[in-house]
Amino acid sequence: MAYTAQDRPRIGWIGTGRMGFNLAARLLDAGHDVAVCNRTRAKAEPLAGRGAVVVDRPVDLADRDVVFTTVSASSDLHAVVSGPGGVLASATAAPGVLIDSSTVSVEMSALIRKEAAERGTDFLAAPVSGNPKVITAGKLTVAVSGSREVFARVEPLLAALGRGVTYVGEDETARLVKIAHNVFLGVITQSLAEITVLAEKGGIDRAAFLDFLNNSVMGSPYTRYKSPALINLDFTPTFTMPLLRKDFDLGLTAAHGLGVPMPLAAATAQIVAGAIGAGHVEDDFAALILEQARNSGLVLRAEDVPVDDGLSPRP
């Protein structure tokens, strides 16, 4: 039975970085009772102004009906769930449902599922696709795996996070969906960098080329969204190269285990590693265009023109 407006669960949220902060804010804005926890408390404090209760440790959320986690890596997930002070560390309480929206390995997801079951907690893997601006625009998407009955119960909560929630199967299948998605994200961004540099070296402004591309059948919400960064060279991070490299590692490991050759992904993973070696650690991964230009003997300059990213509300 799904939660209703009259029977809203008490929610906990662990991890209020760029993604977690905005996702928790959507639940608060929808009127939910949300308590939040972050390793650096100061990053969670602004949510108090929107109605959140801020706690110091994940274990302080153990009595919540539903707890979300959004962290950076597999080791972080295990720490906040099962480590000292983790949400499952209480001897007297455990959440009814634990929902993880991080991008972690299948193996870690399965371990967390097992440890949650031992405490009587249902576990859903629910990795998300998007970034803070996508969340604000209400266009986040979520892939979910685990018990279909548990999914049906919490689906209204997940639906509040964005525009699309897809149940993809049992156990850890959502992890493979998200990893495959992010591998494609890297490959398509490198391809976009290559063709844009090709056009510019042939004398075409990046803005003109990308405007044509975005209005063609080859354009997409994603190519439009990345166009401002490629045109104006604004690499304020939405997703960094090291995070992308982590996802390539996960994807290629999965491919090896399943016997699936991925030559384009493997080549792109090496390009990403090279970009990290060149110092693009804090930049958005759209900075792949800078390395592509350098390898092409081209120095890029910001075109400093207004570009519609497709996410801003239209009048």
Cα distance from N-terminal residue to C-terminal residue, the chain: 39
Burial environment of residue 204 by CB neighbours within 10 A (0 to 12, 13 to 18, 19 or more): middle
* Mean pLDDT, range 194-198, rounded to an integer: 98
Q: Give the three-class secondary structure for 287.
A: helix
Percent of the chain predicted with pLDDT > 90: 91
Joined together, the tokens standing for residue 210 give 């990308």
Residues whose CB falls within 8 Å of the CB of residue 226, separated by 6 or more in sequence, listed in order? 189, 192, 286
CB neighbour burial string for 110-134, b if at least 16 within 10 angstroms, e if fewer: ebbbebbeebebbbbbbbbbbbbeb
- Mean pLDDT (the chain, rounded): 94
Q: Over the stretch 216-227, which tens digit does the pLDDT of each residue have? A: 999 999 999 999
DSSP label of 296: T
Is pLDDT at 315 greater than 60 in this prediction? no
Q: Within 13 Å of residue 198, how many CA atoms lie on the same side as its CB?
A: 6
Is pLDDT at 1 greater than 60 in this prediction? no
Q: Over the stretch 54-102, which tens digit does the pLDDT of each residue have? A: 999 999 999 999 999 999 889 999 999 999 999 999 999 999 999 999 9
Measure Cα distances from 44 to 40, 79, 86, 104, 187 in Å: 7, 18, 17, 22, 34
Q: Going from the N-terminus, what domains does the chain have, and what CATH number goes with each?
A: 10-171 (3.40.50.720), 176-295 (1.10.1040.10)
Nearest to 293 by CA among 187, 196, 197: 197
Is pLDDT at 205 greater than 90 in this prediction? yes
Q: Rounded to whole angstroms, how far apart are CA atoms 286 and 236?
A: 9
Q: Over the stretch 170-179, which tens digit does the pLDDT of each residue have? A: 999 999 999 9
Q: How many residues does the chain have?
A: 315
Is pLDDT at 25 greater than 70 in this prediction? yes
Is 35:147 a contact under the CB 8 Å cutoff? no
Measure Cα distances from 252 to 60, 140, 144, 178, 180 in Å: 37, 25, 21, 13, 9
pLDDT, position 6: 53
pLDDT, position 8: 83
Q: Rounded to whole angstroms, how far apart are CA atoms 232 and 36?
A: 36
DSSP label of 240: B
pLDDT, position 4: 54
Indicate the helix (H) or strand (E) that contains 159: helix 148-159
104 backbone φψ class: left, alpha, beta (φ>0; ψ -120 to 50): beta
Is pLDDT at 15 greater than 90 in this prediction? yes
Q: Within 13 Å of residue 263, how many CA atoms lie on the same side as its CB?
A: 0
